[in-house]
Amino acid sequence: MLTKEQNDLLTQTGPGTLGGDLMRRFWQPAALAVELPPSGSPVPVRLLGEDLVLFRDEEGRPGLLGLHCSHRGADLSYGRLEDGGLRCIYHGWLYDVHGRCLEQPGEPAGSTLRQAQGRLFHEKIQHRAYPCQEVGGLILAYLGPGEAPLVPAYDILLAPDDRRRNAKAFHECNYLQGNEGNIDSVHLSFLHLQQPRWREHPGFDEVELEPTNYGIRNFWIRDLSDRYYVHITSFVMPNMGAFGGGRGEGYSINWHVPIDDTHHWEYVITFRREAAADGALLRQGTQHEQELDANYHPIRNQSNQFLQDREEQKTRTFAGLGSYFYAHDGCVTETAGSIQDRTQEHLGFGDKAIVAQRLMLLKAIADVQAGRDPVGVVRKPQDNQFDILVRGEEIPKEWDWRTYWTKGLRGEAPAAAQSVIR
């Protein structure tokens, strides 16, 4: 249970909020790269409570600017892409990807509107602009102060395109609700399962948490009498969860990016270390296409009660919500309210990872306010290494489940392990 003040700290992400200050210390996705094709139209974007416009210039460079022109506030997403930047359709002001005003064609040549330094009028305009990088099929943006940190060298961002699938989905709730679901492994035994399998293994016998240089590694242990079932997931600061995977051959990341405090985008990135475009990856991509509309909004949503089928719930699945896991997650997180009131919750043993995540976020907020970089921010190339291992397998009881996975740090589990997802 959190106090109202703590809940506000963790859920408020707009400009000038302490939680927003934390989020802005990290690179965040502004769009899928496919949403911004070469010569494509500018895209209006709302990110961390800010209204922005995303575009590519004629060299293909992505730029992220304040949505409203610095002249008289016209919407730049209607602008023209030409002459090295984005030109406002109201009076023709032209901006480059850095927010510099290159031209003001409605002003007389050598405009007398000068500052004491003698600069021309257009030279003194610095429009709001944020650095962008295209990495791993995403357009990442840094909305924070000062020099941007390094883009983290996560496996999901480094994987070749043919070993990765990207998607995204819109959610009508605060980002934290979605992200907390990623590291709650107990719900896997209920929400996503077929009937009546949930009765076989309703929970875990042990939960251990390990702080890392990217966040928290979570160990979920189930005693199967002669073996252990080990499920390893990760919380990646400040708004990602890593899950899935068998013996380390790959995993998925859910990246919950605030649009504002009551809506967010969930970027879903799945990759394989070796196999290119395997069947599982292709099937996942097809399911996203079937379950999302052209604007990445789920077809199953609160307006139609997520198309819950009570007959299916009686006979085939625990939730009656079909087979698309992201619809299951959307149902339980969005119906908790646009911003969940955590002063009313009652946490149990299976919520240890949730508590640890909240404490890490609260400490990170305090670190930022004290002028320190939070966990996960990287500034030196030698520090840009992350072992985000995600596994789900049965192992002999004589193995130490805390350390066995290090023997296969790059995807090779000991032969005695059996890959399984439970």
Query: Which range is least confidently modeled, 82-91, 240-249, 290-299, 400-409?
Result: 400-409
- Going by the DSSP 8-state scheme, the letter that residue 4 receives in this structure is H
Say if residue 256 is in the same domain as residue 122.
Answer: no
pLDDT of 177 strictly over 70: yes
Whole-number pLDDT of residue 170: 97
Residue 3 belongs to a domain: no
Say if residue 135 is in the same domain as residue 163.
Answer: no
pLDDT of 414 strictly over 50: no
Say if residue 124 is in the same domain as residue 186.
Answer: no
Q: Residue 90: pLDDT band by 50, 70, 90 thresholds?
A: very high
Say if residue 88 is in the same domain as residue 177.
Answer: no
- Asked if 69 and 52 count as a contact pair (C-beta separation under 8 A), the reply is no
Which is more confidently placed, 362 or 219?
362
Residue 47 belongs to a domain: yes
Say if residue 90 is in the same domain as residue 183.
Answer: no
Whole-number pLDDT of residue 382: 97
Burial of 380: CB neighbours in 10 Å, binned 0-12, 13-18, 19+? exposed
Q: Over range 228-238, report the average pLDDT.
A: 92
Say if residue 137 is in the same domain as residue 159.
Answer: no
Q: Residue 405: pLDDT band by 50, 70, 90 thresholds?
A: confident
What domain range is 107 assigned to? 27-141
Inter-axis angle of helices 175-182 and 352-369, nearest 10: 130
Say if residue 356 is in the same domain as residue 242.
Answer: yes
Whole-number pLDDT of residue 418: 44
Q: Over range 46-73, report the average pLDDT.
A: 98
Query: Which range is least confidently modeled, 191-200, 226-235, 265-274, 321-330?
Result: 191-200
Rounded Cα distance between 153 and 214, Å, is 11
Closest CA to 173 of 365, 331, 359, 349: 331
Say if residue 213 is in the same domain as residue 351.
Answer: yes
Domain boundary among 111, 141, 171: 141
pLDDT of 306 strictly over 90: no
Tokens standing for residue 161: 């395109």
Whole-number pLDDT of residue 387: 87
* Whole-model pTM over 0.85: yes
Report long-range pairs for 146-151 (Cβ below 8 Å, ≥24 apart).
148/27, 149/25, 149/26, 149/27, 149/373, 149/377, 149/378, 149/379, 150/378, 150/379, 150/380, 150/381, 150/384, 151/27
% the chain with pLDDT above 90: 61
Say if residue 59 is in the same domain as residue 164.
Answer: no
Whole-number pLDDT of residue 413: 44
Whole-number pLDDT of residue 416: 45
Q: Residue 361: pLDDT band by 50, 70, 90 thresholds?
A: very high
Domain count, the chain: 2
Say if residue 100 is in the same domain as residue 209.
Answer: no
Whole-number pLDDT of residue 60: 96
Say if residue 168 is in the same domain as residue 309.
Answer: yes
Rounded Cα distance between 157 and 86, Å, is 28
Say if residue 173 is in the same domain as residue 204.
Answer: yes
Which is more confidently placed, 226 or 24?
24
Q: Over range 195-218, report the average pLDDT.
A: 79
Residue 374 belongs to a domain: yes
Q: Residue 316: pLDDT band by 50, 70, 90 thresholds?
A: confident
Whole-number pLDDT of residue 415: 42
Could you count the other beta carbons within 10 Å of the beta carbon of residue 207?
19
Q: Within its chain, how far is the Cα of 21 from the centroid? A: 17
Q: Residue 116: pLDDT band by 50, 70, 90 thresholds?
A: very low
Residue 72 belongs to a domain: yes
Residue 8 belongs to a domain: no
Strand-pair partners of 80: 87
Q: Residue 93: pLDDT band by 50, 70, 90 thresholds?
A: very high
Residue 19 belongs to a domain: no
Residue 289 belongs to a domain: yes
- Asked if 254 and 288 count as a contact pair (C-beta separation under 8 A), the reply is no
Q: Residue 363: pLDDT band by 50, 70, 90 thresholds?
A: very high
